[in-house]
Amino acid sequence: MQDVLLVLETSCVQSSAAAWCGERLLCQTAWRAERNHSSAIFKAVRQVLDALEGRRLKEIVVGSGPGSYGGIRVALAVADGLSLVHGSRVAAFSSWNGLDLLHGKACVMSDARRGGWTWGKLENGVLTDVPAVLPAEQARACVAECLEKGVPVF
């Protein structure tokens, strides 16, 4: 049987867990978690693990934000525990790299709360640098600069 990849995304309110075997999606589940990521993740992970049907859980990827530090921490703890049981590798992957912006350049911004905005640039779907947290005025200037250059902003 083929090995399975488990993906956990809890860096945002709309959280999800999914298992992939090669290019085939075995199971996917999603839930809304405002500030309670730990109350729903275990049920979701159990549902995904049940779909493995004896396949080996080889790798676990956790969305590392930018986003909710608490949510990311919960997913990393779950991944760490599963890796001990299954002998899986664990990796963190910027959640923005999963936006399906695979061609060309794009700018991405999200609410960092407390008056700040998380800002980053993607090239062919991959972050070109570590995201920065900017004050509102500086974030507006970055948006204007990208739009002026014809680079889409998400």
pTM exceeding the 0.85 threshold for the entire prediction: no
pLDDT by residue (tens digit) across 61-109? 999 888 878 889 999 999 999 999 999 999 998 888 777 777 889 999 8
Q: What percent of the chain has pLDDT over 90?
A: 56
Query: DSSP characters for 60-129?
Result: EEEE--SS-HHHHHHHHHHHHHHHHHH--EEEEE-GGGGS---SSEEEEEEEEETTEEEEEEEETTEESS
What pLDDT is attached to residue 87? 95
What pLDDT is attached to residue 1? 64
pLDDT > 90? residue 29: yes
What pLDDT is attached to residue 44? 93
User: Which residues, including other chains, have CB under 8 Å from residue 98's CB and lie 6 or more apart?
Assistant: 9, 63
What gap in Å lies between CA 70 and CA 33, rounded to an integer? 11
Question: Where in the chain are the domains?
Answer: 4-93, 100-148
Count the neighbouring beta carbons within 10 Å of the beta carbon of residue 149: 9
| The listed CATH number (3.40.50.150, 3.20.20.140, 3.30.420.40, 3.40.50.300) that belongs to domain 4-93 | 3.30.420.40
CA dihedral sign of residues 23, 8, 46, 49: positive
